[in-house]
Amino acid sequence: MSPKSVEETFKDFPASALVNRLPRDQFGWPAKLVNHGQGTAFGVQVTWFAHKVNLKSESFEIDSRKREEPKYAPECNAMPSSPSHIPANASATLTRIPLFASLDPEAQLESIDGEVRISCRDAFGTEWETVQDVYVEVGYMSDPAYFHCAFGEVRQLPSYL
């Protein structure tokens, strides 16, 4: 997202809404992304999708209407890896935690069930996507604050887009 679109999208959010006060050195971020393929993965992008959100007082599913909210929108939860081109058997890092985990004005978020979609291109320009389950648990008010992310079953091996 461009800075201008971020400003426009989140103009009504108070500055205190971003509660991502998670110290990098205490929660093992940035996470590693390893290319287990036979060639370089070009333009790697990771998009996080929340499916079920558990707050202190309630739980809810993310439906198509809820996914239109900026906090849950795919375009606000997509990020390139760093570096964005990953040679075979090499690794990259994820550049930030997803917006739905860091934008929590009331600090009510406890956990999220969802998936990550990892997309890239190969040397021939063919686009690929892998889908993997993810479970996120946060403790913003804990001392120290934490962000735990457990990657689960790969539900879709690299497939053509």
Dmax (CA) of the chain: 49
CB count, 10 Å around CB of 116?
19
What is the tens place of the pLDDT at every residue in 22-44? Answer: 455 544 556 788 999 999 999 99
Q: Identify which has the larger pLDDT, 137 or 22.
A: 137
What is the tens place of the pLDDT at every residue in 90-108? Answer: 999 888 888 888 887 777 8
pTM to 2 decimal places: 0.82
